[in-house]
Amino acid sequence: MKHSNKSLPVGLALGLLLGGTAQADADHAVVPDKSQLSKLCKDCAFVTEVHTETRQGKSSGVGMVGGALVGGLLANRLGGGNGKALATVGGAAAGGYAGNEIEKSGKKYTVWVVRLIYKDGSAHSRELGTDPQLRGGDVVLMQNGRLSRQ
């Protein structure tokens, strides 16, 4: 499930213009005010949101080959006469696609998406393979490609 937050830039702009305090919108994003951004160090960022997303795994081709074999064999048994070859090819194609999708869905994994705003107002996202133990409103330091809470 892909998560999109189009209200974040609008909320950030309003928050910066009005000089308000950090506030959460309907998607739980936290928008820093000017003073919070100005206090950030050079390599620090304000966490606006942390959420998880599920990614589909990569296929090795084993599922596709296995699915194509099974699909082709089943279709060959069902087809008759001149349509037997067409049924076999169609079954192999459908079986290959299904086998590939089944293999990928069996390799699903979760990522944590951390949305950040830096001192200059630029927004970036980091995708992490493990729970960063962060939440909206935290201040983090980026060192050697890693985020650490300040």
What is the pLDDT at residue 20? 37
What is the pLDDT at residue 46? 93
The Cα–Cα gap between 78 and 80 comes to 7
Residue 17 neighbours by CB under 8 Å, 6+ apart = none
Are residues 24 and 93 both part of a single domain? Answer: no
Q: Is 118 helix (H, G, I), strand (E, B) or coil?
A: strand
Are residues 22 and 85 both part of a single domain? Answer: no
Residue 21: give the domain boundaries: 7-56+108-149
Residue 69 neighbours by CB under 8 Å, 6+ apart = 92, 95
Tens-place pLDDT, residues 106-142: 778 899 999 999 998 899 999 998 899 999 999 999 8
E-strand stretches of 1-98: 23-24, 30-31, 44-55
Are residues 94 and 131 both part of a single domain? Answer: no
What is the pLDDT at residue 51? 92
Centre a 10 Å sphere on the Cβ of residue 119 and count the other Cβ atoms it contains. Answer: 17
Are residues 81 and 48 both part of a single domain? Answer: no
The Cα–Cα gap between 21 and 126 comes to 24
Residues of the chain falling short of pLDDT 50: 1-27
Are residues 46 and 117 both part of a single domain? Answer: yes
Number of structural domains found in the chain: 2
Are residues 47 and 118 both part of a single domain? Answer: yes
